[in-house]
Structure 1
Amino acid sequence: MENLKLEPIICKIEDNDASLKQFETRIRTTKNKKVQDVILNYPIVYIHNWKNSEDYEVYIGESNNVVQRSKQHYADAKNKENWQNCLLESNASLYIIGHEHFNKSLTLDIENRLMLYMMSVERVKKIHNQKCNPQNKYYTENELDTIFMQVWRKLRRRDPLLFPTESSIKDSAVFKASPLHKLTPDQKSAKEIIIQKVFESLNGKAEKQLIFIEGEAGTGKTVLNSSTFYELFEKAEEQENTSLRCCLIVNHDEQITVYEQIAQKLGLTDKYGEVVCKPTRFINTHNVENPIDVALIDEAHLLWTQGKQSYKGDNQLQDIIDRAKVTVVMFDENQILTTEQFWEAEILEKFRRRAKNEENYIELKSQLRMTADKETIDWIDEFTKNQKLYQIPHDNKGYEIKVFENPEDLDFEIESKANNEKTALSRVVATYDWEYNTKNEPKDRLKKYWEVLIGKWHKPWNYELEKELNREQKRNIKSLSWAEQPHTINEVGSTFTIQGFDLNYVGVILGPSVKYSNGKIIFDPSESFNNKAIRNRTLSDGTKKKFGETLIQHEVRVLMTRGVKGLYIYACDDDLRNALLEVANNGSHHNRERNS
């Protein structure tokens, strides 16, 4: 196709009025009529950027007249309340991006994707845009990916710190949770329903709304939650409602860090204060008499359904509902991992039924994480949900399920993937079947770390190697999720570090708690070191009951659904390992030749 041969035109100038005038004169007098025509007569995308200390701040826009638009920005710079004022104080630069195939819709999509990418750049601390505007169908939308890739690569040649590799951006936890992703039709429909209900409530038509969204791992709950959260603030600003009280709540330390970064980069924290927090903090700092407008709860299955030392209530979800006019819940029953999160069926159904009665129940069904055929997803479902083992299907989309005879080979393959720039976010994870204690050192004084140990192979549990990092190294990884930290390729992750996050390839070690007997997968709590899953739970009627088998089953499902491109498996149980090797693709299994 002809358009694939065309290259974007990218100009960089100092970001001030004098440089802009010189640039305009140069373009108007150039002998290159194509450049002149594209810059002066076509829609343009532009990036204002400046450094604040060692980090960047940016504003991304599009215009039919980039020169006139830039002059407007310089005029607005006189107001100290405007972001443009930073252009007067900083050594700012302006990128002007043109292309012969740019039209209004395409430039809006390029602008939106630049915002998506740059919010995921570690060195970019703030994006000053107020809103995104993803487009629907238009004539040249099939050219978007190719043109954007060309634009990004050219920008990267100019400044690799501001424009890092696409693969590093797409692997970042901020990118995966970004509110700037283009939503699927199901996500978009769900978001429209939520926002309509919220503003009906704010207008006094229907307070105390519960919106219950259910979907399994990888169905897009986090992006829906994040996108809705951001658009609520956008809508409020459009209506000049500066008093909106909206909070995003999640009971997961790693995910909290991601959402805090997003809120900071979008300027929400500066304008509204604390808009992201954990449930116990939210409950302790808000009261029933003065409810906030909206509480959005991601990973609501991680909420506690009984009291703990830091939480004196009986049910965190009910306590949050009592403190908000509208509560939006993202829930997956199959990801409940501990006894304090366990829901008694009738209590959970009470919340579902309430949402359904108010026509506020939404179910997300499309699998968005795994690039896999339905047959492959069905195989994982049968293993993790129905405890059945079938022949591993061939996947036409390229998703890989591999079975290994020993942990050394699985570890070697994952490390090979991690050393490839395109699949760098690949890690080994395991069921919680080896001892680990964050408060104490290993009992065996010869051991330096809490480890996963299988025969002669051993590797530290997550967060163990962090103890060896110096202050600068710790500062550099502070904002990164566990899997994004480079040294964690030498660790083994658990559900507590990987739940809610994606990996390119996941190497899952099924420990002794996962067995195979009489043609069925067995989950054995007696082999688990996860006390939070295997201890007794006191029910609402006062009786005590164990849910270890169910919670270990959920643990295995969380681990086995992390991989976007592939799932590698080693099983410690001999019978399960042999059965897996039997059902591997074409009856073959994977064992590399190693030099002795």
Structure 2
Amino acid sequence: MYEYYIQRAPVFSKKDGKKLKQFLENILKKGDKGETIFMIDRGKLRPSKSLQDVLSSMMLGNREFVMIDTQKVVYEEILHSMRQLSKSDRKRTIIIRGGPGTGKTVLAINLLAEIIAEGSSAAYVSKNSAPRSIYNCKLKGSMKRSRIDALFKGSGSFIDAPENTFDVLLVDEAHRLNEKSGLYASLGENQVMELIRSSRLSVFFIDEDQRVTIKDIGTESEIRKYARRFNSTVSVMELDSQFRCSGSDGYLEWVDNLLQIRETASFEPDSSFEYDFRVYDDPNEMRADIESLNSINNKSRMVAGYCWNWISSSKNDTDVHDITIPEYGFEMSWNLGNTTTWAIDPESIREAGCIHTCQGLEFDYVGVIIGPDLRYDPSTHMIITDASERAKTDSSLKGLKKGRTPEEQKALADKIIKNTYRVLMSRGMKGCFVYCIDRDLSDHIRKMCKTRFD
């Protein structure tokens, strides 16, 4: 019943309380007495499905997610800007701010489908290839490969693109954009510049707290700088409706507070909060629970901070275990190098993903191994980051010392490491489980929760 009605629901805003009430009453009159059609939390509607499951239907023009509040406002504003392109030669740039789970990707895909349906040229752009690989797999059979490649493009695809090649470019995870492109980061001038140059309307979906490598240059100031170069108008909009983590803004604020990214109100779950958060003392128990949940629908995964080397000589062998925690006899392989669809491959439950394979994707449940690069000091009550504990095969902090004072190096590494765990801990729609190498950090997280989950 839920799937049926959510696809046929009109869009409601906070001002439409009477209409929403009448809509639900009409549904109940039709006989749905015993099932919950919508889960409502403080006036927000929350979907129970993930984007990758309904992508094909969305590209056919079907409304799979109900847009609410700021999502609807942003959606209509971008379409309005697209429709005004014919009335002016001036470029337009729109920056959309939004934290994890606020529907940035869902909004981008909805816009892509609608803009194409209206006859304009558009493309979805991302720096990270993992989401595009999943979308490619999900669209296979419903769309020609050449068409998929034309609609879903990497951020390095516009080096030689003529000006205004596209009417609209929808740049997801824009905070992950790099300056240079190519395997050796030696091609092009600047990805932000190339995207603005290549489109008449460029839309950047951004969350600067998800910048996780030194090479990530997708900041609002960088976008504004290149917009000025092309005499593009710039407008900024916010997304705040939460669709992940059981629709709770409180959980994500709590994660920010926990990691000392910013101070927010403490978070204490109550009986109405349905997000499953657990702290484990044994990583084997966490893995067993994730595997059990994954057996239901293949939508749960293990991830870890990049603190263990990826053994390249055996990168396609699951039986070679990169991640080892000897005191618990725990061993696990990183995601294999011969697959681009780790997030949906049934056998990949035996592999742990890292920030590079899971950013931009979502699962029902995620099990996070917090490595030795993050710990807690009980004497100072501070979260401590340690860049020296990162794996040598991780390039996130490569070039950290170049042109920076020791203080600047520490501040930048601190931000990247904390942002990494912020992203990992916000991948789960229904639950997040954590195991910490540092026992003091485990104890601190339990205290921060106020209510024990384990």
TM-score range, shorter chain: 0.7 to 0.9
The sequence identity of aligned pairs, in percent, is 24
Residues in 2 aligned to 1:227 and 1:140: alpha-carbon distance in whole angstroms: 24
Query: What is the one-letter code of the residue matched to 1:569?
Result: V
Instruction: State the Cα distance separating 1:392 from its structure 2 match.
Output: 5.8
Q: Who is 2:74 aligned against?
A: 190
Question: What residue is the counterpart of 2:268 in the other structure?
Answer: 393
Residue number in structure 2 paired with 1:525: 387
Q: Matches of residues 329-478 of structure 1 in structure 2 within 5 Å? A: 329-342=204-217, 346-347=221-222, 350=225, 358=233, 360-371=235-246, 373-386=248-261, 393-395=268-270, 396-421=272-297, 424-437=298-311, 439-441=312-314, 448-464=320-336
Cα RMSD of the aligned pairs, angstroms, is: 3.9
CA distance in 1, matches of 2:31, 2:125: 34
Give the drift of 1:360: 2.1
Alignment equivalent of 1:278, drawn from 143, 148, 154? 154
> Are residues 567 and 296 of structure 1, via their aligned partners in 2, closer, same or farther at CA, if it must alter by over 3 Å?
same
- Is contact 2:91–2:200 with CA below 8 Å preserved after alignment? yes
> What secondary structure does 1:434 align onto?
coil
1:321 corresponds to which residue? 196
**CA apart distance, 1:141:** 5.1
C-alpha distance 373-299 of structure 1, shift in aligned 2 (>3 A): closer
Deviation at 1:576, TM superposition (A): 1.3
* Amino acid in the other structure paired with 2:80: Q
Query: Compared with structure 1, are the counterparts of its residues 147 and 503 closer, same or farther at alpha carbon in structure 2 (3 Å cutoff)?
Result: farther
Call closer, same or farther: CA 1:377–1:248 in 2, change over 3 Å: closer
Mapped partners of 2:84, 2:289: distance in 1: 53
Question: Counterpart of 1:553?
Answer: 418
Tell whether 2:367 aligns with 1:490. Answer: no
| Relative contact order higher in (CA < 8 Å, ≥ 6 apart) | 2
**Secondary structure, counterpart of 2:110 in structure 1:** helix
Establish whether residue 248 from structure 1 lines up as the match of residue 124 from structure 2: yes
- Please state whether the residue corresponding to 1:496 is helix, strand or coil: helix
Stretches of structure 2 lacking an aligned partner (at least 5 in a row): 13-18, 34-47
In structure 2, the residue matched to 1:303 is: 177
Cα deviation 1:108-154 (Å, max 9, x = unaligned):
x959939xxxxxxxxxxxxxxxxxx956658555566998999xxxx
| Aligned equivalent of 1:230 | 113
SS at match of 1:433: coil
Deviation sequence 1:511-550 (CA, Å, 0-9, x none) = 10011112111111111116322222598xx768643221
Verify the 8 A CA contact 2:55 2:138 in the aligned structure 1. no
Given the two structures, how large is their TM-score scaled by the length of structure 1?
Answer: 0.61
TM-superposed deviation, 1:378: 2.6
User: What is the CA–CA distance in structure 1 between the aligned matches of 2:448 and 2:333, rounded to whole Å?
Assistant: 30
The residue that corresponds to 1:576 in the other structure is 441
Deviates more, 1:261-270 or 1:496-505: 261-270
Q: Do 1:372 and 1:565's aligned partners in 2 also have CA atoms closer than 8 Å?
A: no
2:333 touches 2:350 (CA, 8 Å); kept in 1? no
Contact 2:280 2:433 in 1 (8 A): yes
1:170 maps to 2:49: yes
Mapped to 2, the partners of 1:489 and 1:147 lie a distance apart of 41
Q: Which residue of 1 aligns with 2:7?
A: 113
- Once the two structures are superposed, the pairs formed by residues 12-27 of structure 1 within 5 Å of their partners are none
Structure 1, residues 325-371: CA drift from partner, whole Å, max 9, x if none? 1111111111111121145785356469999x946211111221111
> Larger % of helix: which?
1
Equivalent residue pairs, number: 416
| Mapped partners of 1:461, 1:557: distance in 2 | 22
How far did residue 397 of structure 1 move?
A: 2.1
Shift in Å, 1:375: 3.8
Cα 1:134–1:320 change in 2 (3 A) is: same
2:372 alignment counterpart: 512
What per-residue deviation string (whole Å, max 9, x for no partner) do you get for residues 144-189 of structure 1? Answer: 6998999xxxxxxxxxxxxxxxxxx935724279463221232121
Deviations 1:291-348 (A, max 9, x none): 3221111111121124552552232011111111111111111111112114578535
For 2:204 and 2:28, the matched residues in 1 are separated by 33
Cα–Cα, structure 1 residues 251 and 408, in superposed 2: closer, same or farther, change >3 Å? same
* Letter in structure 1 aligned against 2:313: N
TM-superposed CA distance for 1:225, in Å, is 0.5
Paired residue secondary structure (1:382): helix
Between the aligned partners of 2:53 and 2:291, the Cα distance in structure 1 is 23
Contact 2:259 2:418 in 1 (8 A): yes
Tell me which amino acid in the other structure corresponds to 2:307: D
Q: Is the 8 A contact 2:253 2:264 kept in 1?
A: no
Q: Report the Cα offset of residue 460 of structure 1.
A: 2.8
Contact 1:268 1:275 in 2 (8 A): no
User: Separation in 2 of the partners of 1:398 and 1:272?
Assistant: 37
Say if 1:214 and 1:135 are closer, same or farther in 2 by CA, change over 3 A.
closer
1:64-90 deviation per Cα after TM superposition (whole angstroms, max 9, x unaligned):
xxxxxxxxxxxxxxxxxxxxxxxxxxx
Equivalent-residue separation in structure 2 for 1:490 and 1:170 (angstroms): 23
Partners of 1:217 and 1:561 within 8 A in 2: yes
Amino acid at match of 1:222: T
CA distance in 1, matches of 2:138, 2:76: 21
Cα distance, 1:172–1:197 mapped onto 2, change above 3 Å: closer
> Does structure 1 conserve the Cα–Cα contact (< 8 Å) formed by 2:227 and 2:233?
no
Amino acid at match of 1:299: E
Cross-structure match for 2:36:
none
Q: Compared with structure 1, are the counterparts of its residues 254 and 144 closer, same or farther at alpha carbon in structure 2 (3 Å cutoff)?
A: farther
Residue in 2 that maps onto 1:98: none
Aligned twin of 1:312: 187
Instruction: Pick which of 341-350 and 527-536 moved more.
Output: 341-350
> Take 2:417 and 2:147, find their aligned partners in 1: how far apart are those partners?
42
Deviation at 1:380, TM superposition (A): 1.3
Please state how far the C-alpha of 1:506 moved relative to its aligned partner: 1.4
Worse overlay, 500-509 or 375-384: 375-384
Question: SS of the residue aligned with 1:564?
Answer: strand
Matched to 2:363, the amino acid is L
* Distance (whole Å) between structure 1 residues aligned to residue 30 and residue 342 of structure 2: 33
Whether the 8 Å CA contact 1:251–1:303 is kept in 2: the answer is: yes
Runs of 5+ consecutive residues of structure 1 not aligned to the other structure: 5-108, 115-132, 151-168, 237-243, 468-473, 591-596
